[in-house]
Chains A and B, each alone.
Chain A
Amino acid sequence: MTALLPRRGLAQILALIVILAVDRVVSPQFFDLRLQDGRLFGSLIDVLNRGTPVALLSLGMVLVIATRGIDLSVGAVMAISGAIAASLADTHSLAVVLAAALGAGLICGLWNGFLVAVLGMQPIVATLILMVAGRGIAQLITEGRIVTFSSPDLVWLGNGSILGLPVPVAIALGMLILTGAVVRGSALGLLIEATGGNARASELAGVGTRAMILAVYVWCGVCAALAGVIAAADIMGADANNAGLWLELDAILAVVIGGTSLFGGRFSLVLAVLGALIIQTMNTGILLSGYPPEFNLLVKAVVVLAVLLLQSPKLSGFAGVVTRLRRTKA
């Protein structure tokens, strides 16, 4: 379970602390928490709550990226699952709604995995297909309208609370623990890292690299579908045009901030989620500061650059090691 704990997470933790400190300066009540009707309220809780969709996406994305892949379709998958959940919410039980929405995510993941693992397509192109088509599918499901619902069960999923925590946060936490237990409790983690690190060598060592790749895309699809349901439950409706729009980029960013290389190999679930929280802490901070939201994008870019520089091999004395590796390769 070692990789579940931040081993190399110093840069990320420092970044989070700095951003939290800045948030405290721009908004003195940032760390205030109060308990109301059995639920915690406050900016910190807001960060967690708002950060949930990207955190869920990054849980799947980090595994995909660890195999040297990428999944651009997660935003579109969110739109599909949100549309399905919203359409079924008032007529079916929560179990059916969840099964249908998550099932759709699973099928989307299978499709991506099939294109990449079986047909050998480049991941960025393969998932681009569903990124484009998926939003169209979602619009077909909602027939171009914004579908609203009032099912209290589904609304609870977005706005309720468990043990003082918002339900989405509890779900994200649960998924982190579940994913960690599956990935690190079985041999999956090692085999995924080996596949991403060197697919040819892993194949020759007897690793079922195709099965690994298929599995991570499926899991990524399921995580995206869950994020889509939560996003729909949050606004009590599904907007096929805007649900999850551009969130694939935030998810990729979260993974990269979490120190997982786009070249595959080593990954950390916890740090990817931490990456998602860093992004959200920034967003919330800027909103609270009263600066125009346009600043958000600029500040985000600067912070991302800072975190990446901190991790940059040339800056952390890794330089010698890398050059040595290159030399022996040549």
Chain B
Amino acid sequence: MENSPDSAASLLEVRGISKSFGAVRALQEVDFTLRAGEIHALLGENGAGKSTLIKVITGVFPRDAGIVRISGEEVAPRSAKAAVQAGIATVYQEVNLLPNLSVAQNLFLDRQPMRFGIVREGEMRRRAKTLLADFGLDIDVAAPLGSYSVAVQHVTAIARAVDLSARVLILDEPTASLDRHEVEILFGIMRQLARRGIGIVFVSHFLDQVYEISDRITVLRNGRLVGERETASLSRLELIRMMLGRELAETTSARAAAGARKTREVCASFEGYGKAGYVAPFNLELRHGEVVGLAGLLGSGRTETARLVFGAERADRGQARVEGAPVRLQSPRDGVRHGFGYCPEERKTDGIVAELTVRENIVLALQAKRGLHRPLSRREQDEIASRYVKMLDIRPPDPERPVGLLSGGNQQKVLLARWLATSPRLLVLDEPTRGIDVGAHAEIIRLIRELCDDGLALLVISSELDEIVTYSDRVVVLRDRAHVEELTGEAIDVGNILAAIAADSVAVALEAHT
């Protein structure tokens, strides 16, 4: 079974896979090819479709269209277990093993060596020991798995998967919780497995690691295949452009030119603001009537910056000022009191209260701001709700409908309405257009501009660089949890943003290797 890595036999072939959740098209005719003995990175921003693709391949989600072949043979696993039988094993970021059982029991769960109906513990441990020795691990296999580090747990999960005769191994963000040394160990194991002819799919948002370990890269964006490249011949700039931007889309900001002429009053400012292990200290000025865009890759510290600014996370250094006066932002309540609003990225878990009505969701922040003893009367609530339903064109225009039944775009509008009702001075929008259909998308962007023209200060995060370029007066670029560059005026274009992100990635790569 010795396959040399350069034999171009395709081990796993995925052709024309499509998958929709309701009206949201998560995958559209995606192709993916994995060769025997290669390490293949699957990349893309949040919502690009990586997880969905993996779950469709492994049978967790049924697919709407397309075929999956392993060694030329068509397979259609209906469950993760069936996928394992077909030779596809997946190790997720959160290890799916049982921490209270021993390492040996975890390795042989479901297939313990038995004699007369009794598990042969000694035999099982011996075999576990041999198995792990192949992976360079020499540990007490009788100890509970939970007593070992995440790295050991990962290796155990991989060993189990490989021992279950896996030919395709999918590793979903395996390095997210490992330190540098542990990553090295994992990479060593991955290379060893690849030499044995196993095909490995490596999902990660650490580009340095991708360049270090992978042979080829496939990039997804918005549920579509952007392309497949040899790692060695793909520059970082090119890769980031594939992940973030439409090729050659060199939109420039109409606002930037106009905005640069006027100096506006500062609404809120942050000096040396940051939190250890969260975001490096940054300086940020947000002005009335101005949109500041936050650009950067996933995990670069965009959302973290937004949460610090709003008060959802406490800063441990630096000074925040609102209209020039120093303030302390200890909680969302503080942020709300100072006239801030925050539409989080995860609308369903952090934004809407699904079972409450559109009306109740809209008045929630305003009511919280006013306090318990000053309830909004039903008439006031109705008035506020119907005003914003009309203003933002929320559909269906029924304030008494549970908000969970609305489409993503309309839920986003309800959240905007919730904050607009509090007459904020600063709105922080985290990925306001994610998972929204095209029509609502354009509308949200139009709204952002209108709000800005009304004198609101806006801080907007988006992975869509075209979008950021279109509405931003200034763009702050982040990488590795630090603010690295601020673009203004004419300098705001997709190319410059990409260059700023990529340049820094190169710098990091150099740092890591010296």
- Say yes or no: B342 contacts A186, CB within 8 Å: no
- Say yes or no: A197 contacts B356, CB within 8 Å: yes
- Say yes or no: A197 contacts B355, CB within 8 Å: yes
A205-B336, A321-B405 given; A265·B348 CB < 8 A: no
CA distance A327 to B24 in the complex (A): 10
CA distance A187 to B372 in the complex (A): 5
Min CB gap B81→A, angstroms = 20
- Say yes or no: B405 contacts A208, CB within 8 Å: no
| Residues A306-330 near B (CB distance < 8 A) | 321, 324-325, 327-330
- Say yes or no: B360 contacts A206, CB within 8 Å: no
A201-B350, A203-B332, A265-B356 given; A190·B378 CB < 8 A: no
- Say yes or no: B367 contacts A190, CB within 8 Å: yes
Listed in ascending order, the chain B residues whose CB lies under 8 Å from chain A are 21-22, 24, 61, 310, 312, 332-333, 335-337, 342, 344, 348-356, 360, 363-365, 367-376, 378, 404-405, 408, 418
CA distance A206 to B338 in the complex (A): 11
- Say yes or no: B22 contacts A194, CB within 8 Å: no
Min CB gap B63→A, angstroms = 14
- Nearest residue (CB) in A for B26 is A330
- Say yes or no: A206 contacts B336, CB within 8 Å: yes
A200-B349, A205-B364, A208-B333 given; A266·B355 CB < 8 A: yes
| Residues A162-195 near B (CB distance < 8 A) | 185-188, 190-191, 193-194
CB neighbours of A187 from chain B (8 A): 367, 370-372, 374-376
Which among A187, A198, A202, A205 has the highest number of chain B CB atoms within 10 Å? A205
CA distance A207 to B350 in the complex (A): 13
- Say yes or no: A207 contacts B22, CB within 8 Å: no
Contact of A206 among B333, B353, B405 (CB under 8 A): B333
- Nearest residue (CB) in B for A329 is B348
Instruction: Given contacts A191-B364, A265-B353, A330-B21, list 18 more A-B pairs with CB under 8 A.
Output: A187-B367, A187-B370, A187-B372, A190-B363, A190-B375, A191-B368, A191-B372, A194-B360, A201-B352, A202-B364, A203-B332, A205-B365, A206-B335, A206-B365, A208-B368, A321-B405, A324-B405, A325-B354
CA distance A231 to B350 in the complex (A): 44
A203-B332, A325-B404 given; A186·B375 CB < 8 A: yes
A2 on the interface (CB 8 Å rule)?
Answer: yes
CB neighbours of A321 from chain B (8 A): 405
CA distance A257 to B113 in the complex (A): 50
Please name 17 pairs of A and B residues whose Cβ atoms are closer than 8 Å in the assembled complex, sorted by A: A186-B375, A187-B367, A187-B372, A190-B360, A191-B364, A198-B354, A204-B332, A204-B351, A205-B332, A205-B336, A205-B365, A205-B418, A207-B368, A265-B355, A325-B404, A327-B21, A328-B24
Chain A residue total in the interface (Cβ 8 A): 29
- Say yes or no: B367 contacts A198, CB within 8 Å: no
A2-B378, A190-B360 given; A201·B353 CB < 8 A: yes
CB neighbours of B368 from chain A (8 A): 191, 202, 205-208
Which among B21, B310, B353, B370 has the highest number of chain A CB atoms within 10 Å? B353
Contact of A201 among B333, B337, B349, B370 (CB under 8 A): B349
CB neighbours of A202 from chain B (8 A): 353, 364, 368
CA distance A198 to B332 in the complex (A): 15
CA distance A202 to B369 in the complex (A): 12
Which among A201, A206, A324, A325 has the highest number of chain B CB atoms within 10 Å? A206
| Residues A41-79 near B (CB distance < 8 A) | none
| Residues A212-270 near B (CB distance < 8 A) | 265-266
Min CB gap B328→A, angstroms = 15
- Say yes or no: B372 contacts A186, CB within 8 Å: yes
CA distance A204 to B408 in the complex (A): 19
CA distance A330 to B348 in the complex (A): 11
CA distance A50 to B368 in the complex (A): 39
CB neighbours of A200 from chain B (8 A): 349-350
A201-B350, A206-B335 given; A191·B378 CB < 8 A: no
A186-B375, A187-B374, A190-B360 given; A198·B352 CB < 8 A: yes
CB neighbours of B352 from chain A (8 A): 198, 201
Listed in ascending order, the chain A residues whose CB lies under 8 Å from chain B are 2, 185-188, 190-191, 193-194, 197-198, 200-208, 265-266, 321, 324-325, 327-330
Which among A186, A190, A203, A329 has the highest number of chain B CB atoms within 10 Å? A190
CB neighbours of A197 from chain B (8 A): 353-356
CA distance A204 to B353 in the complex (A): 11
Min CB gap B108→A, angstroms = 32
CA distance A185 to B348 in the complex (A): 29
- Say yes or no: A204 contacts B344, CB within 8 Å: yes
Which among B21, B61, B376 has the highest number of chain A CB atoms within 10 Å? B21
CA distance A328 to B24 in the complex (A): 8
CB neighbours of B373 from chain A (8 A): 186
CB neighbours of A201 from chain B (8 A): 349-353
CB neighbours of B350 from chain A (8 A): 200-201, 204
CB neighbours of B22 from chain A (8 A): 324, 327-328
Min CB gap B413→A, angstroms = 16
Min CB gap A197→B, angstroms = 4
- Say yes or no: B370 contacts A198, CB within 8 Å: no
Contact of A185 among B336, B364, B375 (CB under 8 A): B375
CA distance A203 to B313 in the complex (A): 12
A200-B349, A205-B364, A327-B21 given; A194·B356 CB < 8 A: yes
A186-B373, A186-B375 given; A204·B360 CB < 8 A: no
- Say yes or no: A188 contacts B372, CB within 8 Å: yes
Min CB gap A68→B, angstroms = 12
CB neighbours of B356 from chain A (8 A): 193-194, 197, 265-266
Nearest 3 A-B pairs (CB), nearest first?
Answer: A206-B336, A206-B368, A197-B353
Min CB gap B272→A, angstroms = 25
CB neighbours of A327 from chain B (8 A): 21-22
CA distance A200 to B345 in the complex (A): 13
CA distance A187 to B21 in the complex (A): 36
CB neighbours of B405 from chain A (8 A): 321, 324-325
- Say yes or no: A198 contacts B375, CB within 8 Å: no
CA distance A188 to B351 in the complex (A): 20
CB neighbours of A265 from chain B (8 A): 353, 355-356
CB neighbours of B365 from chain A (8 A): 205-206
- Nearest residue (CB) in B for A325 is B404
CA distance A302 to B371 in the complex (A): 44
CA distance A327 to B368 in the complex (A): 31
Min CB gap B110→A, angstroms = 27
CB neighbours of A328 from chain B (8 A): 21-22, 24, 348, 408
- Nearest residue (CB) in B for A206 is B336
Min CB gap A96→B, angstroms = 30
Min CB gap A23→B, angstroms = 35
- Say yes or no: A198 contacts B349, CB within 8 Å: yes
Min CB gap B97→A, angstroms = 24
CB neighbours of A324 from chain B (8 A): 22, 405
CA distance A327 to B477 in the complex (A): 35
- Say yes or no: A198 contacts B344, CB within 8 Å: no
- Say yes or no: B367 contacts A204, CB within 8 Å: no
CB neighbours of A204 from chain B (8 A): 310, 312, 332, 342, 344, 350-351
CA distance A193 to B402 in the complex (A): 13
Which among B24, B355, B376 has the highest number of chain A CB atoms within 10 Å? B355
Min CB gap A130→B, angstroms = 26
CA distance A25 to B363 in the complex (A): 50
